[in-house]
Amino acid sequence: MKNDGEFVPTKLTLLTILLASTLMLLGGAAVAPALPQIQIAFPDADPMFIDMVITLPPLAIAVSGLLIGMLADRLGKVKVLIPSLLIFAVAGLTGYFLDDLWLLLAGRFFVGIGIAGISACCTALITEYYNGDRRVKILGYQTAAMGIGILFLEIGGGTLAEFGWHEPFLIYAVGLLIFLMALVSVKEPVNKDRGEIEDSGKFNRKAVIACYAGAFLLMMAMFSVPTKLAAFMVETVDASPAITGILLGLNGVMNSAMCLAYWPISFRIPRKYILGIAFTLMGAGLLCFFFANDIPTVLLCLFLVGMGLGLGTTTIVNILSSSVSPTRSGMIMGGYATFLNLGMFTATFVVAALIALSGDLRGMYVSMGAVAVVSAALFFVVIPRVDRA
């Protein structure tokens, strides 16, 4: 595992990082199916506080992501990653044992803090462990792992919810396994002889700001789909929740497929244009809801949205990884996690405003599609100017 005193990542190291990456969007996904049961368990609680079981982790990530990333740069990525995995697992599992809503919400906030550390450190470690085409491939694997993780862990959470509202919180036990794997397989990278630019601590500020804006807008547009799709399907085609779940699962599959396809795509299309293409696909999928009156058309909409999300997130992470030095990678990736989750958190309010303005869910999706198309035009102009890699 070592060569001249420098840690060489193994296959187990890569597997651990990819498994840890599956947790990065798991703030509320696993327990979302249990929300109705939680409301029944706390009948006197305001529904807003019940919803916070889902919304608190992204808010905690948005609040703490940048600070935790800076801490990782100062102390070391592995020294922050391993405790973050333990915090994620322990805080998540507390929901299985608690019957007090306020303690439950406190645990949810700490789940977000754990995810913030995982998000900042996993991507930063990939940028330091690997170079060139190998790095591009593995960043594609990472974003695919995030999509696959949501798919399987949502299914697991939904299955456990059949037994009661406490049981879905058991899904967070997977964090303990990954914690143990990290203890034996992940070591702090040694960044010697990696080049003057990397060691200088400088980074491409304009590219980083553009990527943060892209992450925020991409997640805001994407999050409008799962939050209201079940209601849209009932209104338009009278589809069951099971059908909606399958459609969202296929959306996740397309997302992961495009993450894996990023590497060959980047050889054929200049990277500076791919983020604009990603927003174009996202916008086309959302605009297609205007014509969606049957399941095949909805599936087409979700495929386009999934393609846009997969291409967009992988492009953003690749631009960020080539724009920063090891001494700032934790901070930059922590900021990325912050804006990613701010986009998800903000989507709740933007969706409500668009429904009020447009009058229905179809109008909301079309309006969000227009936002994505305008964003595409913006990034077709901005990214070529700031991305010099």
Q: Where does CATH 1.20.1250.20 sit in the chain?
A: 2-190, 203-386
Tokens of 3: 């060569």
All residues at 6 or more sequence positions from 19 whose CB lies less than 8 Å from its CB, including other chains: 145, 177, 178, 181
Domain 2-190 has CATH 1.20.1250.20: yes
**Res 328: pLDDT:** 76
**Res 277: pLDDT:** 95
Residues of the chain with confidence (pLDDT) below 50: 1-4, 192-199
Condensed to tens digits (0 to 9), the pLDDT of residues 338-384 reads 898 888 888 878 888 998 998 888 999 999 999 999 999 999 998 88
**Res 191: pLDDT:** 56
Q: Which residues pair with 2 in a beta bridge?
A: 7
DSSP 221-236: HHHHHHHHHHHHHHHH
Q: Where are the alpha helices (DSSP H) in the chain?
A: 11-21, 35-41, 47-75, 77-97, 101-129, 132-161, 174-185, 196-199, 205-237, 241-268, 271-287, 295-321, 329-358, 361-386
Nearest alpha-carbon partner for 49 in 90, 94, 91, 100: 100
CATH fold label, 203-386: Growth Hormone; Chain: A; (1.20.1250)
pTM of the predicted structure, to 2 decimals: 0.79
